[in-house]
Structure 1
Amino acid sequence: MDGKNPQLKRHKDSFFAVLKHNTLFMYDSERQLDCKNIINVSYYDVSMYPEHLPDNEIFLKATSIKLTTKKSICADMALDKSFYLYCNIGVDKEDWFFVLQRSSKLESNSPGPQPQVVRDKAQFDQSALNRLKTLSSNDDKTEWLNVILGRIFLSVYKTQVVKDYFIKKLKKKVKKVKKPNFLSDIHIKSVNVGDGIPYITNPKLIELKQNGELSVELNVDYKGEFRAEIETEAMITVTRLRTIKVPLVLAVVLRGLAGKLLLRIKAPPTNRIWFGFYEMPKLDLLIDPIVSETQLKFSPIINAIESKIHEMIMDSIVLPNMDDTPFFVSFGKGGIY
């Protein structure tokens, strides 16, 4: 697995590797005349060895790709063998690692027990990629920045870590907003962060002071379909003397947001970026209340919830109010010391 670089020194157990579907062929040279070994990757779990390395050390020259026989295969075929595959070039090793992982999830062409096929959740949706390609066709000077940020987003937007981050953030915001009297406590049920990030245009440096304080303004335009499902109960008056509690599951979808944003990094020892809109951004909201799988068409409830969302935004990210995100962990100290 030394690739095609003729300058690399070949070791005694060095092979020219070719992966076809889920079968890894190991030849003595690029001519592929003498096959020294064949591995059915579907029978193996693929990991990096050693385990638990820092991210910046995973694909160093000394590390290897480990193929470990799947437990189900060990039991059914009495096959218990591990392979350690090395590659001299780190960037190539990452390619081999990912392609071998995908191959290990494919069905085997060989007779005998078939490994369970697992859908690769790391692959992003085609609609998300199409949205990113739309950004890359824009002639704006910030095209490169938007595409880089968008591509990084596509790598993480389905992860539970990202979803948990927004759930935690929303819970804190909801607690601070005074809810209408006819609604009980609001609980965040689930979050779907959508398939895009805000598009940045017209960035402008306002000032960079001698003490390091930085101010930048820019326009943001979001059309990523951020969706949050929330649970609550509504008190509905049936008669003058009788009210009922109606359980609600509300899908709140942010279809669009646009406005002019101020970014600030204060003088040291700050460890965070502050951001806030100059005025209330334009919102495109869809609020879809559902009761026992039946849509509830009750405009006062919808209007009240939409009003509270506007209030939450005004109180948190419209100047003079600003929200923040840290760019360095302070371990509770509030700054970099």
Structure 2
Amino acid sequence: MPWLITILFTYVLGGLTFVPLVILSLWYFAPYVANDSDSLEQFTQELNEEEARKRGEPPGFKSFKAGEILEKEQSDVKAYFEGWIIVTREHYQFPQVDPELFKNYSNDNEISSAAGNGSNNSNNTSSFMKMFTKRNNNNNNNGNSSDGGDNGSGKDEDESTDPATLDTKQLRQVRKKNRFFGVLKHGNLFLYSDEEKKDVQHVIVLSHYLVALWPRNTRDGSLFSKKSSICLYYKNNSADPKSSQFILDQLLRSGSEDTTVVPPPGSYFVHTDLNHQREDWYFSLIRATSHPYIKTGTKKDLLEASIMAKPMHFKTADMIELIQTINSTEGQLSTKWFNAFVGRIFLGLYQTEEFKFFIKKKVEMRLNKIKTPGFLDDILITHIDVGHSAPFLTNPKFQSLNTEGETKIELNLLYQGGLSITLATKLFVFKREMDITLKIKLLKLHGDVVFLIKPPPSNRLWYSFSKMPEMKLDIQPVVSSRSMNYNVVTKIIQNKFEDAIKESLVLPFMDDFVLYPTDGEIFRGDCFKFRCSFSVRLKK
């Protein structure tokens, strides 16, 4: 019988069941590791800290964010910003102007003389102060109060007209009369007549206001155009749950197509000479209204800038790595600008859920093309970490461009960003089914990439590696909630990934990016002139 045992032993260990048996054995003797999302996240952080320690980096270096420290030093009453602004009680659509045009021009004497001394002479009162008076009287009639101002009852011709109907000349006059040098400090917005900052025209106490962009239904592409302005939304007693609910309802309703919603009496609108200055003022005002706050678990929390408008700072180590990389080699010289541009955009997005979802979809498309071993079920991505840097492209080489438009270039691609995905699947061993989780981290991908744009009507960018790239993976299986590392299993998985790259992303195989979507069209995947124009007519 010894010969029979020998045959069975050889068959079991040397046959097709060898890999599943190894996996089953390792699973049984492996230490327990929880596979819920929080534990996996903690497991990943511990691995990253261990790698950082091996590189000689101090504890916490990878997670340190210098921006968070600067934010604390520049928020609440510590926030400071200054510049020329236009402050009104109504929302106007002011076009951009060159600030140099105002260099030899100081605000009307009317503004400094009347607003500075609180005079109620209608002939010497600025448009801004008259608007304030009119709104303040309305507030008093409604039982409300504002920040203060003169008690006159002037009425300005420009303000008696619907702001949307004013012509260019009238808008210019409104801008001229309500242009101040604004200084943001001590949690207040001080409005001066000029840059010397000697006489204060008005002070707005920001603790009474919620900073928002107006109109609320403005599209993202127009948030800082002439169509919008910064609204200092007067929130009265937002500590009152009913008041907080009212503010939320109004802001949400004004974000829809309902254009009848207007800010409550006591609100202000802040405009700037240039669009990009409006963005600077908007974020500065938000910082000034961000103060230490303890969550209440109520809807009032949604109105707190310190919670709902908290910046998503990138990790300082990742920015340092980007700076070091683009200055590391001679090959970076020709594409330094491009890699800095792409890398900076990546660091602004890599912690957002939207970007993670985008990358997850792209990875899933590639995984669907991988043929899994017979003992594994379909693969599902349960978690993704997009890594700490974007790919770097260097050494561009022009290959061809012909009169038909076919274009071909080649670049060297290097990725060491540490993209990590957690895959879930099922393992089948001897009529038995077990859940398995695999953590796969892309440590390095390096090779020459060819980009090809074909002649019309092609609507996509084709790309592929000219030869099999260098690829390093770190695979750490977690089988049925038990941690497991074994060279045979990881080697099989790595070979599958390499085969997938070789069979889809190495010449003569190519993949593509769509440049022009054709969803819902009859003839797909192209840019036919008649079809495009015909589709536009149908949509109209």
- TM-score, scaled to structure 1: 0.85
Q: Which residue of 1 aligns with 2:314?
A: 124
Greater Cα shift, 209-218 or 1-10 = 1-10
User: How big is the shift at 1:201?
Assistant: 1.2
Structure 1 position 29 matched with structure 2 position 194: yes
Q: Which residue of 1 aligns with 2:438?
A: 250
Q: Which residue of 2 aligns with 1:84?
A: 269
Q: Which residue of 1 aligns with 2:419?
A: 226
Distance 1:151 1:116, change over 3 A: closer
User: How big is the shift at 1:189?
Assistant: 0.8
Structure 2 alignment gaps of length 5 or more: 1-82, 86-97, 108-175, 245-263, 294-299, 530-540
User: How big is the shift at 1:249?
Assistant: 2.0
Structure 1 position 7 matched with structure 2 position 101: yes
Q: Which has the larger radius of gyration?
A: 2
Q: 2:370 aligns with which of 173, 177, 202?
A: 177
Distance across 1 between alignment mates of 2:427 and 2:311: 37
Specify the SS of the correspondent of 1:117. helix
User: How big is the shift at 1:290?
Assistant: 2.0
Q: 1:334 aligns with which of 491, 506, 525?
A: 525
Structure 1 position 308 matched with structure 2 position 490: no
Distance across 1 between alignment mates of 2:186 and 2:437: 45
Specify the SS of the correspondent of 2:306. coil
More helix by share: 2
User: How big is the shift at 1:227?
Assistant: 1.1
Specify the SS of the correspondent of 1:29. coil
User: How big is the shift at 1:38?
Assistant: 2.1
More strand by share: 1
User: How big is the shift at 1:192?
Assistant: 1.7
Q: Which residue of 1 aligns with 2:36?
A: none
Structure 1 position 192 matched with structure 2 position 385: yes
Conservation of the 8 A alpha-carbon contact between 1:25 and 1:38: yes
Q: 1:51 aligns with which of 199, 202, 217?
A: 217
Distance across 1 between alignment mates of 2:216 and 2:305: 26
Structure 1 alignment gaps of length 5 or more: 237-241
Conservation of the 8 A alpha-carbon contact between 1:22 and 1:103: yes
Q: 1:155 aligns with which of 342, 348, 354?
A: 348
Conservation of the 8 A alpha-carbon contact between 1:59 and 1:90: yes
Distance across 2 between alignment mates of 1:279 and 1:71: 66
Greater Cα shift, 2-11 or 222-231 = 2-11
Specify the SS of the correspondent of 2:503. helix
Greater Cα shift, 32-41 or 300-309 = 32-41
Conservation of the 8 A alpha-carbon contact between 1:135 and 1:147: no
Specify the SS of the correspondent of 2:456. coil
Q: Which residue of 1 aligns with 2:478?
A: 290
Distance 1:105 1:314, change over 3 A: farther
Amino acid at match of 1:135: T
User: How big is the shift at 1:143?
Assistant: 0.9
Q: 2:428 aligns with which of 214, 219, 235?
A: 235
Distance across 2 between alignment mates of 1:24 and 1:166: 42
Q: Which residue of 2 aligns with 1:95?
A: 280
Conservation of the 8 A alpha-carbon contact between 1:45 and 1:67: yes
Distance across 2 between alignment mates of 1:144 and 1:125: 21
Q: Deviations over 1:309-335 (max 9, x none)?
A: 112211221111111112333345312
What is the number of equivalent residue pairs in this alignment? 327
Q: Which residue of 1 aligns with 2:395?
A: 202
User: How big is the shift at 1:22?
Assistant: 4.5
Amino acid at match of 1:147: A
Distance 1:120 1:207, change over 3 A: same
Distance across 1 between alignment mates of 2:271 and 2:405: 46
Q: Deviations over 1:50-93 (max 9, x none)?
A: 533351x3322352112335698262696965332100111211
Conservation of the 8 A alpha-carbon contact between 1:43 and 1:73: no
Distance 1:321 1:98, change over 3 A: farther
Q: Which residue of 2 aligns with 1:239?
A: none
Distance across 2 between alignment mates of 1:330 and 1:94: 35
Distance across 2 between alignment mates of 1:28 and 1:50: 30
Structure 1 position 320 matched with structure 2 position 508: yes
RMSD, aligned α-carbons? 3.0
Conservation of the 8 A alpha-carbon contact between 1:252 and 1:286: yes
Specify the SS of the correspondent of 2:342. helix
Q: Deviations over 1:221-276 (max 9, x none)?
A: 1111111111112234xxxxx56433222221111110011000111122221110
Q: 2:327 aligns with which of 131, 134, 137?
A: 137
User: How big is the shift at 1:48?
Assistant: 4.5
- TM-score, scaled to structure 2: 0.55
Distance across 2 between alignment mates of 1:233 and 1:103: 52
Conservation of the 8 A alpha-carbon contact between 1:262 and 1:277: yes
Structure showing greater relative contact order (alpha-carbon pairs closer than 8 Å, 6 or more residues apart)? 2
Q: Which residue of 1 aligns with 2:404?
A: 211
Distance 1:42 1:82, change over 3 A: closer
Amino acid at match of 1:215: K
Conservation of the 8 A alpha-carbon contact between 1:276 and 1:317: yes
Specify the SS of the correspondent of 1:15. strand
Distance across 1 between alignment mates of 2:447 and 2:342: 19
Distance across 2 between alignment mates of 1:141 and 1:24: 46
Specify the SS of the correspondent of 1:215. strand
Distance across 2 between alignment mates of 1:72 and 1:308: 62
Conservation of the 8 A alpha-carbon contact between 2:388 and 2:418: yes
Q: 1:274 aligns with which of 451, 459, 462?
A: 462
Distance 1:48 1:213, change over 3 A: farther
Distance across 2 between alignment mates of 1:178 and 1:42: 61
Amino acid at match of 2:217: E
Q: Which residue of 1 aligns with 2:4?
A: none
Q: 2:357 aligns with which of 151, 160, 164?
A: 164
Specify the SS of the correspondent of 1:141. helix
Conservation of the 8 A alpha-carbon contact between 2:237 and 2:243: no
